[in-house]
């Protein structure tokens, strides 16, 4: 008969995506003990299968402080993780397909001017000259030279590995099925194998975070959706920028090997764990791709895929303290855009665990925006401190 293994730690984390893993790394760098439980492999969900866009341009202004913090972390990947994860500051170009789209890019540049994104508006004439490979519908656009792209299959697991090297205890293939709180300490159970006790719990369970939140009487309106992705066979290299379109739709980037990675549309969510691409969405993506980049006319898709991502109605994450339980902090619902800000969200969660507050503004991401705050369930859980 197996006996359950019991561990005590400063901070327990549920979920080893880029958010949970970077929180684990930041906590170890602060000197706190941390145990992370991941039911699959770290970085195997949204964080490892996403498009790989590392962009600040186009984010709501309320996300820009977090995005700027993340930008600095991305610049230090080799030092932090021991790999660059194929991260390059290739530039992110947002295409305008009408004068009104161009006007909205101009407005965004003015509104975001405090954040030093270095946005540069490019006219139709200059675009024709500089990017002869672009289809005819572009009337101009906005370039963020220092935004870029990375390989999510490398970057996200690397955060977990770096955290482990720094001393975090990471348990993969450990599904958290029960979380209890006795007023002072969380008990996080994975079957009959492991129980982790900690005064602080970080809920970084991605699209599944609502299950953890509901155990503490919280019901954020989190919904799963699956963005559709495709990659072509390698074609001669012609594009360094990562491309997006104002108003949404297709986005694409070309990797060093020549393949074009494309995204757009939504697939089918089969159940809580499985998502599939939708045939119609792939057909639409293929047509949009050829319209945007005529060089792709004869290119084949060699793979299509999706991934399960948690969305909130206002497309902003929940990042901050629980409204019911002291010591519980949430970081989920990144709504299709958490890869770039994930490492900063992890640092913020580590600060919340240690100090109870964040040095980056996160008010816009409070869970209270969905439900008014009741009286706390427990009032005496201290923030974690290093042993
Ligand atoms: C196809 C696609 C394309 C995207 N493109 C981009 C992009 O280009 N740029 C960008 O910025 N963002 C993009 N995103 C969004 C980005 O990938 C996510 O917002 C980000 O990865 C979320 O990270 P996370 O750690 O919160 O979630 P996840 O990576 O989903 O990690 C959560 C983890 O929690 C684990 N877990 C859940 N429940 C439990 C449990 N009970 N016990 C133990 N473990 C549990 C899961 O197995 C999972 O590994 C995209 C997302 C998708 C799906």
Ligand 1 geometric centre to CA of 350 (Å): 18
For ligand 1, atom 26, the nearest C-alpha belongs to: 206
For ligand 1, atom 27, the nearest C-alpha belongs to: 206
Query: CA dihedral in degrees (309, 314, 315, 320; nearest 10)?
Result: -90
Which domains occur in the chain, in start order? 5-49+153-221+313-370 (3.50.50.60), 92-145+227-306 (3.30.9.10)
Ligand 1 geometric centre to CA of 110 (Å): 31
Contact predicate 84/78, CB 8 Å: yes
Contact predicate 177/154, CB 8 Å: no
The preferred substitution site among 248, 338, 343, 365 for testing ligand 1, maximizing ligand atoms within 8 Å of CB, is 338
Nearest in space to 275 (alpha carbons), one of 373, 343, 191, 206: 206
In DSSP terms, 331 is beta-bridged to 319
Q: Which residues line ligand 1 (CB under 6 A)?
A: 14-20, 37-40, 44-47, 49-53, 175-176, 204-208, 227, 229, 263, 306-307, 309, 332, 334, 336-340, 342
Q: What angle do helix axes 18-30 and 152-165 make, rounded to 10 degrees? A: 30
Please state, in angstroms and rounded to a whole number, the distance separating the CA atoms of residues 362 and 212: 21
Which atom from ligand 1 is nearest to the alpha carbon of 47? Answer: 21
How does DSSP classify residue 77? H
Q: Is the dihedral of CA 343, 348, 349, 350 positive or negative?
A: positive
Structure tokens at 310: 């948690």
- Written as tens digits, the pLDDT of the chain (387 aa) is 568 999 999 999 999 999 999 999 999 999 999 999 999 999 999 999 999 999 999 999 999 999 999 999 999 999 999 999 999 999 999 999 999 999 999 999 999 999 999 999 999 999 999 999 998 788 999 999 999 999 999 999 999 999 999 999 999 999 999 999 999 999 999 999 999 999 999 999 999 999 999 999 999 999 999 999 999 999 999 999 999 999 888 999 999 999 999 999 999 988 888 888 989 999 999 999 999 999 999 999 999 999 999 999 999 999 999 999 999 999 999 999 999 999 999 999 999 999 999 999 999 999 999 976 555 554 333 445 443
Report the greatest alpha carbon distance in the chain: 74
For ligand 1, atom 38, the nearest C-alpha belongs to: 205
The preferred substitution site among 14, 39, 40, 50 for testing ligand 1, maximizing ligand atoms within 8 Å of CB, is 50
């Amino acid at each position: 008969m197996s006996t359950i293994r019991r561990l005590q730690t400063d901070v327990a984390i549920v979920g080893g995506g880029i958010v949970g893993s970077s929180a684990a790394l930041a906590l170890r760098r602060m000197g706190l003990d941390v145990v992370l439980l991941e039911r699959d492999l770290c970085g195997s969900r949204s964080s490892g299968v996403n498009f790989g866009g590392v962009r600040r341009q186009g984010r709501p202004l309320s996300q820009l402080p977090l995005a700027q913090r993340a930008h600095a972390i991305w610049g230090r990947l080799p030092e932090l993780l021991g790999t660059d994860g194929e991260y390059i500051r290739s530039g992110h170009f947002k295409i305008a397909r009408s004068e009104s789209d161009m006007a909205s890019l101009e407005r965004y540049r003015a509104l975001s001017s405090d954040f030093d994104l270095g946005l540069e508006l490019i006219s139709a004439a200059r675009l024709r000259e500089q990017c002869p490979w672009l289809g005819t519908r572009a009337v101009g656009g906005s370039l963020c030279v220092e935004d870029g792209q990375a390989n999510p299959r490398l970057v996200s697991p690397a955060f977990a590995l770096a955290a482990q090297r720094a001393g975090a205890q990471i348990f993969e293939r450990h599904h958290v099925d029960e979380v209890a709180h006795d007023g002072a300490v969380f008990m996080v159970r994975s079957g009959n194998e492991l129980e982790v006790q900690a005064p602080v719990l970080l809920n970084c369970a991605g699209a599944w975070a609502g299950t953890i939140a509901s155990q503490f009487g919280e019901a954020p309106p989190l919904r799963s959706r699956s963005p559709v992705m495709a990659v072509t066979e390698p074609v001669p290299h012609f594009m360094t920028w990562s491309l997006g379109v104002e108003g949404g739709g297709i986005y694409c980037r070309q990797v060093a090997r020549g393949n074009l990675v494309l995204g757009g549309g939504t697939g089918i969510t089969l159940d809580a764990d499985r998502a599939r691409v939708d045939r119609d969405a792939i057909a639409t993506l293929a047509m949009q791709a050829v319209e945007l980049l005529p060089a792709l006319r004869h290119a084949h898709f060699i793979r299509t895929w999706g991934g399960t991502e948690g969305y909130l109605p206002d497309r902003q994450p929940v990042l901050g303290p629980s409204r019911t339980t002291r010591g519980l902090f949430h970081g989920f619902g990144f709504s299709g855009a958490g890869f770039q800000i994930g490492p900063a969200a992890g640092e913020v969660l580590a600060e919340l665990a240690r100090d109870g507050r964040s040095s980056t503004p996160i008010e816009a991401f409070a869970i209270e925006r969905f439900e008014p705050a009741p009286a706390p369930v427990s009032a005496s859980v201290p923030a974690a401190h290093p042993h």
